[in-house]
Amino acid sequence: MREIVFDTETTGLSPLGGDRVVEIGCVEMFNHIPTGQNFHVYINPERDMPEAAFAVHGLSSAFLADKPVFAAVADAFVEFIGDAKMVAHNAAFDVSFLNAELDRLGKPPIEQARIVDTLALARRKFPFAPASLDALCNRFGIDNSRRTKHGALLDAEILAEVYVELLGGRQADLGLMVAGVRSAVERATGQRRTLVRPEPLPSRLTRAELDAHDAFIRTLGGEVIWRDYLPEPEAAKAAS
């Protein structure tokens, strides 16, 4: 299952009041494991940067002046998210800004049915406990020391870790449940099935390393077990 964990930074709190998106960060996950495919862009908001917003994320008007406007990155953003589920912390805020930007361009909005709100998940799982991203990092022992200011991609990367923990922890994605079921079946039937790769993995040893090992084994003499694993001489292979 493909999911996109995302975050935005903005010029303020109200997309209807003229505030704009200035940064988007997205992390792709497949079956709750990050794939390494990210989407990240800074955006020229075509307006000034209020001091209150600058204090949160540190993105100045001067820094954003030469960045693309949202219209220039919208197609790439829409293509990246595709039809995947969208995961965000306090998702209503981020989605309202993105949909306002998409609406300005006449593009379809991100539908509510696609949204997973980790803030709502945290409040259901830990009623009355602090549910900010920093609080959840502390709860789950996730390192957020790099988070001196808000940043969309960094926050999305941290949120991806938090999201997995909210779903029950990393072990759910390491195949342990499948392995446990397989072991139970093997115990019940008394049979063990050995999984074999259809194609062996290529050796990571170089030809020089193989030759050096071969030469060393041939110096040992006697009936050493390593001699059983020496490759056949090419002449013997040809004769057979």
If we measure between CA atoms, which residue out of 46, 44, 7 comes closest to residue 26?
Answer: 7
Residue 88 lies in a domain: yes
Q: Does residue 194 sit within a domain?
A: no
The mean pLDDT of the chain is 86
| Domain limits for position 92 | 2-173
Q: Which two tokens stand for residue 189?
A: 């039937």
pLDDT for res 181 = 43
Give domain status of residue 98, yes or no: yes
Residues in contact with 41: Cβ distance below 8 Å, sequence separation at least 6, in sequence order: 23, 24, 67, 68, 73, 76, 77
| Alpha-carbon dihedral sign for residues 217, 220, 223, 224 | negative
* Residue 89 CA: distances (Å) to CA of 40, 49, 98, 125, 230: 17, 23, 14, 14, 59
Q: Which residues are catalytic?
A: 150
Report the CATH number that the domain containing residue 58 is assigned in CATH.
3.30.420.10
- The DSSP symbol for 114 reads G
Query: How many structural domains does the chain have?
Result: 1
User: Is residue 9 a part of any domain in this protein?
Assistant: yes
pLDDT in tens, 96-116: 999 999 999 999 999 999 999
Residue 40 lies in a domain: yes
- For 36, other C-beta atoms within 10 Å of its C-beta total 7
* Residues in the annotated binding site for a divalent metal cation: 7, 9, 155
48-77 pLDDT, tens digit each: 999 999 999 999 999 999 999 999 999 999
Q: Is 215 within a domain? A: no
From 3, 7, 2, 4, select the one nearest 153 (Cα to Cα).
Answer: 7
- Residue numbers belonging to the annotated binding site for substrate: 7, 9, 57, 155
Annotated binding-site ranges: 7, 9, 57, 155
CA distance 135 to 160: 15
Q: What is the pLDDT of residue 192?
A: 52
Q: What is the side-by-side strand order in the sheet with 2-10?
A: 33-42, 21-30, 2-10, 85-88, 115-117
Name residues of the chain where pLDDT drops below 70.
170-199, 221-222, 226-240
- Does residue 51 lie in a domain region? yes
Residue 186 in domain: no
